[in-house]
A and B are shown apart, each in its own frame.
Chain A
Amino acid sequence: MILSARHWFTKIRAHIDLPLLLIVLILMAAGLVTLYSATYSDDGSRLSSQAINMILSLLVMLAAAQVAPQHLLRFALPLYLLGLTLLIGVAFFGIVVNGSRRWLSLGVVRIQPSEIMKIAIPMMLAWYFHKQEAVINAKTFAGAALILLVPVLFILKQPDLGTALLVGAAGFFVIFFAGLPWKAMLGLTVAAGAAFPFLWDVLHDHQRRRILTLFDPAADPLGAGYHIIQSTIAVGSGGLFGKGWLNGTQTHLKFIPEKHTDFIFTVFAEEWGLVGSAVLILLFICLIGRGLMIAAAAPNLFSRLLAASIAMGFFAYAFVNIGMVSGILPVVGIPLPLVSYGGTALITMMLGIGILMSIHTHRVLIKK
């Protein structure tokens, strides 16, 4: 028994990437510390519930790390098809919460299929390019675009701009790393610019308002601009070294909305200042950098593309979130990875970390 426990322990440990785990744990700790500051005055229960979320997500990470990439390869298509089916299901039978149709009720549990897509899309696309291996041409990229755009449009329709953006980014990163020609990218940029007026029409009113607000938050200080203004005040008043832990006046006097979820960086920046923010950004750079290193060393196209896309996915999360709370990007519902309160996103992200670990630790075995 003892022998077998030690055997399992060794086996599990073998698939853990220590640098990655260290960065993740530091970020999570920063998250808990900030969460305590943001919520202790009104509801302390969030702290313990987030701690449980973190433990659960760490278990998910450990489990994912044990699954060899070649097994993941087999899950790619079925997972994608399942996700797509559920998305179509949402479009027809979804539950409307806060004006968005995002959830699907399966008897006792509610699931959010767009969340599955955050992992399913990069896996599917990585698998798709992996299959084509030798012959990657314009047709391949067109197929990839189709694979990506169909679910993204469904998510956009819910509407869920934040998730659509992240899913789209994750897919785009795979296509980019698969070698999408620069010319094609330039063409796409031009096409996107041309399509903007059309896209503007597709956007919902509140989405348009958020974008407009970005350019002139003071135009509506108590309406759409309120979050941005109050958040910038909090960040700016933090100064070089911050107001100190638990001393953020903007936070504690409730001027910051969603301070424990999407706006948690505001709380952090107010209390820890520019120095703290720089450390946090450095941690993300390390996390993403480690992910990119894993991709660089990955043994096959599937693992490479998947790892690079997951790593850059963290970049998309962190950049959009920090950019949003410091007032240079529109307000979209994107959490700060590993720091923001919330279980679902955390588990998805730790699944990604687990996959990165798996890719890195199974590489030797494959080479052998």
Chain B
Amino acid sequence: MNDFQHAQLELKHFHRRLSVAASVMLLFFCLLFANLFYLQVTRHDYYTTLAEGNRISLVPIAPNRGNIADRNGVVLARNYSAFTLEIAPAQIHNLEETIDRLAEIVTIEHKDRRRFYRLLQESRNFESIPIRTKLSDEEVARFAARRYLFPGVDIKARLFRQYPEGALAAHAIGYISRINNRDEAWIRQSREEENYKGTEHIGKIGVERNYEFELHGISGYEQLEVNAHGQTVQVLDRTSPIPGNDLRLTLDSALQRVAEESFAGKRGALVALDPRNGAILALVSAPTFDPNLFVDGIRFDDWDELNNNPDKPMLNRATNSAYPPGSTFKPLMAMAALAQGRRRPEHAFNDPGSFTLGNHNFMDNKAGGHGFVDMARSIIVSCNTYYYQLAADMGIDNIARFMGQLGLGRRTDIDMPSESSGVLPSPEWKRQRFSKPEQQRWYAGETISVGIGQGDNAYTMLQMAHAYANLLNYGRVFRPHLVDSVVNPTTGTIRKIESQPVREISLNPKHVNFIKNAMARTIREGGVSRVFAGASYESGGKTGTAQVFSLRGQRYIAGRLREHLRDHALFIAFAPVEEPQIVIAVLVENSGFGSQFAAPIARRVFDYHFLGTEDNTPIKAMEQHDEPEGEADDP
């Protein structure tokens, strides 16, 4: 083989290799093309959807929450706009370090940090959490200039809930706070999760909770075109949110203030309502709290203070604490006796000073008895023996049936998120309440105690006011309610909440009038006559004392007992007698007799309600001139 031939052969080999290379190249490019065909034609729709999803982001816009005003238009809850400094934890690598650097620019106190971490634990995914609220203009400017140093941190203009009257009627109005897991479950149950996507706050208690879905409004949303960094490029579409409805309460905030101030540091509850329609005029639980503390996440020490306060300011005593009614139960017992034909009003007996059942002596509230006592006088002097006898004659089942009809021992269905049903004792109740046979047994002596409002009797002040309202209304029952009407802020349409009676109890008007007059005489002639001396309106009422501690036969001397063991003072009143416009139930914890603290509060509320006069002097404990109430066990 010569050089030329060799070269020819070599060239032939080379050309063959070139063909191989060209074929491989074509094959590989065909592969690429096939893959591109698969992506761009076969799977085109799929990838288009993904690209649109990348591009378009739906951002919910929370609606403005409705305002709350009292019956006279005084604003009790509203919104205002303020700047917050917020951190999106998902975008931050080292939270502690970021907050440290932020603290060099804006004031961040230890309290703020603790609140931030608490909110972080409670937070839902992906949301931004405020590290500081209500930034000053200067702070906003300082941060804005350094924003680029803090990815994941931003200033947001937010609407905040504000309760301009502070602690006034806090239990009734309630408050809003950030949505937690339990609220989320509630939202899901109510099938509102779509509407709450942009919402961060929710009503927790009171009217704010009960009317949450009225106040909230309907979320709007913005369709945003966003880039890979989540920054908005442009707004493609916008649906405006529809603001929540405003609420007009039945509450009279001025009356509420008078009532709250009358408690002057005492613990207790007060419910004032209009018996003609169930509208609540004042609902007091003392002590109260400032709902503004909760709005942007309560600070740890504030929460600590509220939670560990022995006076339990967060407890709504008016609707959720049941107390024995004491002697305020007696007019209702009298009514039951009349309704069931057990007594005639003129039926009188000579009070021996005690009632004996078996080998047990139930003592009267006056040593030696009240002498000659008929039904009216039994109410005026609060004669225990009369009602021991009456209870024994009626029997527990009849008592329980009548009181249950009046509305005791069951929920009033007030428009509040929670309410205690109290305890209306009966053998039936005992069977349901207890599991062991010996606990379930009903003793005859219990009936006697129930007759004077002691024993297991326990009702909320709301129930007491409600029951008296039903009585005074000749049996027409209205649902107690805090909200008068729901107002659409855009159209101005007003929707009334409650105006029709929910049920009817058949009561003889003559019997009702008799009780009314007996209670009016109690105000004029009884132990509280001094409290109501000089009032230009006519009122009826009854004092009561709820025993906290059984003295086991010893004489009750308030000064000798520790404060929290002293009796609770109660007072039920209504006015005017002819056609009552207001019924009030007052309880002052551990303050002794009804006439001492509870009745003066009722007087002030009535004075303001009917005359518009206010008395700001502290209520002085009056010297005791009423006879001690309650049963005394005598073995």
Report the bound CA distance from A281 to B46 in whole Å.
Answer: 24
List, in ascending order, chain A residues with CB within 8 A of B142's CB.
Answer: none
Rounded to whole Å, the gap between the CB of B612 and the closest CB of chain A is 66
- The residue on A at minimum CB distance from B50 is A233
Report yes or no: A288 in contact with B25, Cβ–Cβ below 8 A.
yes
List, in ascending order, chain B residues with CB within 8 A of A288's CB.
Answer: 22, 25
Stretch binding the partner chain, chosen from A17-25, A76-84, A100-108, A234-242: A234-242
Binding site secondary structure of chain A: helix
Report yes or no: B25 in contact with A285, Cβ–Cβ below 8 A.
yes
List, in ascending order, chain A residues with CB within 8 A of B54's CB.
Answer: 230, 233, 249-250, 253, 255
> What size tier do the contact residues of chain A reach?
35 or more
Report yes or no: A269 in contact with B41, Cβ–Cβ below 8 A.
no
A236: which of B40, B52, B229 is its contact (CB, 8 Å)? B40
Rounded to whole Å, the gap between the CB of B6 and the closest CB of chain A is 7
Report yes or no: A304 in contact with B22, Cβ–Cβ below 8 A.
no
Stretch binding the partner chain, chosen from A1-9, A118-126, A320-328: A320-328
List, in ascending order, chain A residues with CB within 8 A of B25's CB.
Answer: 285, 288, 312, 315, 319
Q: Across chains A and B, which 3 residue pairs bring their CB atoms closest together, nearest first?
A: A236-B47, A237-B51, A253-B227
Binding site secondary structure of chain B: helix
Q: Which residues of A contact B (CB under 8 A)?
A: 134, 173, 176-177, 179, 230, 232-240, 249-250, 252-255, 269, 273-274, 277-278, 281, 284-285, 288-289, 292, 295-296, 301, 304, 308, 312, 315, 319, 322-323, 326-328
Can you list 24 A-B pairs with a CB-CB distance of less than 8 A? A179-B17, A233-B50, A233-B51, A233-B54, A235-B39, A235-B47, A236-B39, A236-B47, A237-B51, A239-B41, A239-B44, A273-B40, A274-B40, A277-B33, A278-B33, A285-B25, A288-B22, A296-B14, A304-B14, A322-B32, A322-B36, A326-B36, A326-B39, A327-B39
Rounded to whole Å, the gap between the CB of B361 and the closest CB of chain A is 83
Report the bound CA distance from A236 to B226 in whole Å.
Answer: 20
Rounded to whole Å, the gap between the CB of A289 and the closest CB of chain B is 7
A177: which of B14, B33, B39, B227 is its contact (CB, 8 Å)? B14
In the complex, whether B95 has a CB less than 8 A from a CB of chain A is: no
Report yes or no: B47 in contact with A230, Cβ–Cβ below 8 A.
no
List, in ascending order, chain A residues with CB within 8 A of B35's CB.
Answer: 323, 326-328
In the complex, whether B48 has a CB less than 8 A from a CB of chain A is: yes
Report yes or no: A308 in contact with B21, Cβ–Cβ below 8 A.
yes
Report yes or no: A239 in contact with B18, Cβ–Cβ below 8 A.
no
Q: Which residues of B contact A (CB under 8 A)?
A: 6, 10, 13-15, 17-18, 21-22, 25-26, 28-29, 31-33, 35-37, 39-41, 43-44, 46-48, 50-52, 54-55, 225-229, 233
Q: How many residue pairs at the A-B interface have CB separations less than 8 Å?
A: 125
B33: which of A232, A281, A301, A308 is its contact (CB, 8 Å)? A281
Report the bound CA distance from A304 to B21 in whole Å.
Answer: 14
A179-B13, A296-B15 as given contacts; A289 in contact with B36, CB under 8 Å: no
Report yes or no: B41 in contact with A308, Cβ–Cβ below 8 A.
no
- The residue on A at minimum CB distance from B15 is A296
Report yes or no: B17 in contact with A274, Cβ–Cβ below 8 A.
no
Report the bound CA distance from A344 to B43 in whole Å.
Answer: 37
List, in ascending order, chain B residues with CB within 8 A of A173's CB.
Answer: 21
Rounded to whole Å, the gap between the CB of B54 and the closest CB of chain A is 6
Report the bound CA distance from A239 to B227 in whole Å.
Answer: 21
Report yes or no: B225 in contact with A253, Cβ–Cβ below 8 A.
yes
A274: which of B10, B22, B41, B233 is its contact (CB, 8 Å)? B41
A235-B47, A236-B39 as given contacts; A295 in contact with B18, CB under 8 Å: yes
List, in ascending order, chain B residues with CB within 8 A of A327's CB.
Answer: 35, 39
List, in ascending order, chain A residues with CB within 8 A of B6's CB.
Answer: 134
- The residue on B at minimum CB distance from A323 is B32
List, in ascending order, chain A residues with CB within 8 A of B43's CB.
Answer: 236
Report the bound CA distance from A184 to B52 in whole Å.
Answer: 51
A255-B227, A292-B21, A301-B10 as given contacts; A240 in contact with B32, CB under 8 Å: no
Rounded to whole Å, the gap between the CB of A120 and the closest CB of chain B is 21
Report yes or no: A232 in contact with B47, Cβ–Cβ below 8 A.
yes
- The residue on B at minimum CB distance from A177 is B17
